[in-house]
C-alpha cells in the first residue's frame, strides 16, 4: 500500500491568498469612507452640544459668549469638546458654534 500525502499545494495557497488580498483591497476604501463620515458626524454632534452650552451661557449672563474659552471657563464645555479630530477647533460667531 502506498501512503498518500494530503494537503494544499503551493498553487492553491497562492490562489487563496490572492482572493483574500483582493477582498481586503476592495473593502479598505469603504472603511476609510465610513470613518470619515463618523468623524464628520462627531464634529456636528460637538457643535450641537456647544450650541446648547451657548444657550445656557446666554440665559445665565444675558449675552453670548465671545469664545469657546468662556464656555470652558464656566464649566459648560470641556477642553476635549472644543476641538474635533485634532485639526478643527470650536469657533463661536453670532451666537452659533462652528468647527473650523
Nearest CA to 50 among 73, 75, 79, 82?
A: 82
| pLDDT reported for residue 2 | 65
pLDDT higher at 28 or 7: 28
Report d(CA 27, CA 35) in Å as an integer. 13
Task: Please give the helix or strand (H or E) that residue 4 lies within, else none.
Answer: none
Task: Identify whether 94 is part of a domain.
Answer: yes
Does 63 map to a domain? yes
Over the stretch 51-92, which tens digit does the pLDDT of each residue have?
999 999 999 999 999 999 999 999 999 999 999 877 899 999
Q: Is residue 39 part of a domain?
A: yes
C-alpha cell at 73: 471657563
83 class by beta-carbon count within 10 Å (0-12 exposed, 13-18 middle, 19+ buried)? middle
Q: What is the pLDDT of residues 23-35, one digit of tens each?
A: 999 999 999 999 9
User: Considering the domain boundaries, does residue 76 fall inside one?
Assistant: yes
- The answer, as to whether pTM is greater than 0.75, is no
Question: Can you tell me the mean pLDDT for 13-31?
Answer: 94
Say what the pLDDT of residue 87 is.
Answer: 86
Select the more confidently predicted residue: 91 or 8.
Answer: 91
Residue 51 and residue 49: Cα distance in Å, rounded?
Answer: 5
* Per-residue cell: 68: 469657546
DSSP three-state, residue 51:
helix
Rounded alpha-carbon distances, angstroms, from residue 7 to 2, 13, 36, 49, 54: 16, 10, 43, 59, 68
Domain count, the chain: 1
Question: What pLDDT sits at residue 15?
Answer: 96
26 is a domain residue: no
Amino acid at each position: 500500500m502506498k501512503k498518500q500525502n494530503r494537503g494544499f499545494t503551493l498553487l492553491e495557497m497562492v490562489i487563496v491568498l490572492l482572493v483574500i488580498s483582493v477582498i481586503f483591497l476592495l473593502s479598505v476604501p469603504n472603511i476609510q469612507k465610513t470613518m470619515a463620515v463618523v468623524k464628520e458626524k462627531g464634529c456636528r454632534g460637538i457643535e450641537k452640544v456647544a450650541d446648547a452650552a451657548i444657550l445656557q451661557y446666554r440665559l445665565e449672563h444675558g449675552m453670548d459668549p465671545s469664545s469657546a474659552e468662556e464656555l470652558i471657563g464656566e464649566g459648560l464645555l470641556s477642553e476635549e469638546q472644543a476641538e474635533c479630530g485634532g485639526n478643527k477647533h470650536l469657533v463661536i460667531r453670532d451666537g452659533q458654534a462652528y468647527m473650523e
